[in-house]
Structure 1
Amino acid sequence: MASKVKSSALMGFYPLCRELKINPVKILAAEGLSSAVLRSPDLMIAYESLAHVLNHAADTADYPLFGLAMARYQDLKTFGPLGLLAAQTHTVAESLEVIQKYFHFHAYGASINLLPPDKEQRTHVNIEIHLAPSISQEQLLEMSLVFGYNILSDLAPEFATATEIHFRHERMASSEQYQALTKARLCFGQEKDALVFPACLLSRPPSPAPEEVRNYLEAFLAQESKGHEQPLQYKVSRLIYELIPTGEATLTTIAPMLGMNVRTLQRELRQNGTEFRRLLDEVRFEIARGALEQNHSITDVALNLGYSELSAFSRAFKRWSGVPPQQWRQVSHPPTF
């Protein structure tokens, strides 16, 4: 399977290109990418294409720190709803576990490994991006590791001064040029590409998600609204849709994302003539129909929707549609909600 990443990884590409007086659309087109990737953060693009775009932009602007400068625009909000999910844990260690566990929903073909503390009681978070050796990764790695540093700093401010960023490659500009773009301590010519920090920081409780992360979530929930406030049930459904693959599409997860407690969210949904369980069923039914139309196995569909037993999924699907999933696929019944 080819390595891919969500188009939110291009966050900051357009304003940085304009700042450097180069044409972002032309650079994307050279790699066969539409400008739609700048408007829609949830499209999947090849990691190879992202690396080529960054390298092309750096060469065109004659600016060797293009990737690192891009990272100034990227932090928890780049993960969308999963960024808020990571900020709602009890410790930074749990936050990193959430990111590590669900990172494949943001990107696959890259891996994040949280290593045990070394003899100096420092933790290493190694990052590997699996691309052909012929592809230059310096721009991509500088963007990705500083992005990771920004996430840690969002989760707890102590990380900002205590974290080192290790790169295998040598520096591509002067120390002063690097320091103008990030407060992180940068170490080049290292054994691994990694974030390194005192292990004791993992026990810190994460800070509340920054306001701009919540604003970004509001923008995510307002997509396709044409400037109008979306009803609460729409926002809940969008979050359910995003979180179902993670197994975290629950009231206790979604209510804080919307700035409510569970009872308040339940009450407001009832006032809007619905309830969380109904919205969850509607989204599950929508996802199931799409997967069945694409000939995914019924077992895979059930597991992806959070059902541990095929029989439970079959009963639920029959309740939604009037027929079992196999029969529905054969005759393509319309929804009956």
Structure 2
Amino acid sequence: MSVKIIIGYLRLFSRVLQQEQVDLSKVVSPELWKDFQACLDNPDEKDFDVERYASLLQAAQPHFTRPITLVLAEHANLQDLGLMGYLASTSIDLQQALQLLQRYYSLVFKQTNLEQLDVQQFPDYIQIVWSASYRDYREMYELNLALIFKIAQSIVQDALIPPQTIQFGYAPHTALYHFEKFYGCPIQIQQGHYAIRFSNQILKAKSIAADQQLNQVLSTQAQQSLNSVSSFEIQQQQFRQKIHSLIEQGLLQQEEVLQSYVAKRLHCSERTLQRQLKAYELNFQDVLDQYRLEQSKLYLQQGRSLSEIAERLNYADQSAFGRAFKRWTGVTPKQFLKSL
């Protein structure tokens, strides 16, 4: 199961494309565009994952002079974030809004996310931080950071004090000065984490639409949504995503024996890793194959060559990759591309 996002993100993207008169239907693969439209039309029946959303953002970028993530954030409204947006707007102040954001952040990803948002308070400042394990998600990380900033700006009564600093886990594909102008502060690149830091003064910034009675009702709804997925399913998904993250890191470092690498990163033996996987009804080869399948489809849609994909996914050559792909899907990579 891949990381899913709520319908608000898709509606926001669609709204911006319409307002800016950008047509991606002939730019992205027919399959991707069809799935995007199907999810917009039937959000209760269809899911859309972060990988495909990031692909859409990347495809749209050449049509904009500024980072698409910042354009989206500027057009966003509270409804686009679902329950999270309404919880933030009805909070007494920004401190309560941030506490609720931390508690219910996983609802934005339909509880399929691995990377938890953390609100850290220090004597002089507060920062919102989360890990960045997936290089291909960088636009999604940038978008969420910008959304948090814009929502904070929109719900407080007075002008929001600019952040002290912004941290990016990966260098953006567009110029940094766009982001520094947007946030009004310096941008630092430090691999592994995204963060936004404010002075503690912002915590008491009052909300324009504070309503504690409504906020409590919404909090109850949010908690019920969290409880709707079984604890085992959540833990299984989180563990699988953790293994996927470590597999990606191992591939980037060109590790030959991925299972051994993952076990070392988890500070356990390979046998212990196998037991942990078994406890979640998983096995390493299946998890690895799932990761490779998801990534290979993404790479194919991005137009990468078979030899490059084989190298990225640690296959001896493109023939070995082709055989594996056909075993997973029943078709060759070229046949898969023709079907798009």
Give the TM-score of the pair, scaled to structure 2: 0.53
Q: Which of 94, 97, 103 pairs up with 2:105?
A: 103
1:112 matched to 2:114? The reply is: no
Amino acid at match of 1:44: D
Amino acid at match of 2:152: L
Structure 1 residue 114 displacement after superposition? 0.6
- Could you tell me which residue of structure 1 aligns to residue 207 of structure 2? 206
Whole-Å separation in 2 of the counterparts to 1:77 and 1:48: 23
Q: Is the 8 A contact 2:57 2:139 kept in 1?
A: yes
Structure 1: gaps (5+ residues)? 215-235, 248-286, 301-337
- Could you tell me which residue of structure 1 aligns to residue 130 of structure 2? 127
Q: Is the 8 A contact 2:89 2:155 kept in 1?
A: yes
Whole-Å separation in 2 of the counterparts to 1:113 and 1:159: 24
Q: CA RMSD in A?
A: 3.9
Whole-Å separation in 2 of the counterparts to 1:7 and 1:24: 19
Amino acid at match of 1:14: S
- Could you tell me which residue of structure 2 aligns to residue 80 of structure 1? 82
SS at match of 1:145: helix
Q: Is the 8 A contact 2:176 2:187 kept in 1?
A: no
Structure 1 residue 196 displacement after superposition? 1.0
Q: Is the 8 A contact 1:168 1:190 kept in 2?
A: yes
Give the TM-score of the pair, scaled to structure 1: 0.53
Structure 1 residue 197 displacement after superposition? 0.4
- Sequence identity percentage: 16
1:102/1:40 CA distance change after superposition, 3 Å: farther
Structure 1 residue 193 displacement after superposition? 1.3
**How big is each residue's C-alpha offset from its partner over 1:42-69, in whole Å with a ceiling of 9 and x where there is no partner?**
653211111111112224x265612221
**How big is each residue's C-alpha offset from its partner over 1:150-196, in whole Å with a ceiling of 9 and x where there is no partner?**
1211232556332243223345545665577x354351424631111
1:50/1:190 CA distance change after superposition, 3 Å: same
Whole-Å separation in 1 of the counterparts to 2:29 and 2:222: 27
Amino acid at match of 2:56: V
- Flag the structure with larger Rg: 1
| Residues 25-64 of structure 1: pairs in structure 2 closer than 5 A | 25-26=25-26, 27=28, 29-31=30-32, 33-39=35-41, 44-59=47-62, 61=63, 63=65
SS at match of 2:117: strand
Whole-Å separation in 2 of the counterparts to 1:208 and 1:185: 28
Structure 1 residue 39 displacement after superposition? 4.8
Structure 1 residue 19 displacement after superposition? 5.1
Whole-Å separation in 1 of the counterparts to 2:29 and 2:12: 14
1:3 matched to 2:3? The reply is: yes
- Could you tell me which residue of structure 2 aligns to residue 142 of structure 1? 142
Q: Is the 8 A contact 2:93 2:203 kept in 1?
A: yes
1:168 matched to 2:148? The reply is: no
- Could you tell me which residue of structure 2 aligns to residue 260 of structure 1? none
Q: Is the 8 A contact 1:145 1:165 kept in 2?
A: no
Structure 1 residue 105 displacement after superposition? 1.8
Q: Is the 8 A contact 1:79 1:106 kept in 2?
A: yes
Q: Is the 8 A contact 1:8 1:40 kept in 2?
A: no
Q: How many residues align?
A: 221
| Residues 156-235 of structure 1: pairs in structure 2 closer than 5 A | 156=156, 160-163=160-163, 164-170=165-171, 172-174=173-175, 177-178=178-179, 182=182, 184-190=184-190, 192-208=193-209
**How big is each residue's C-alpha offset from its partner over 1:65-91, in whole Å with a ceiling of 9 and x where there is no partner?**
122211112243222244223333333
Whole-Å separation in 1 of the counterparts to 2:10 and 2:29: 10
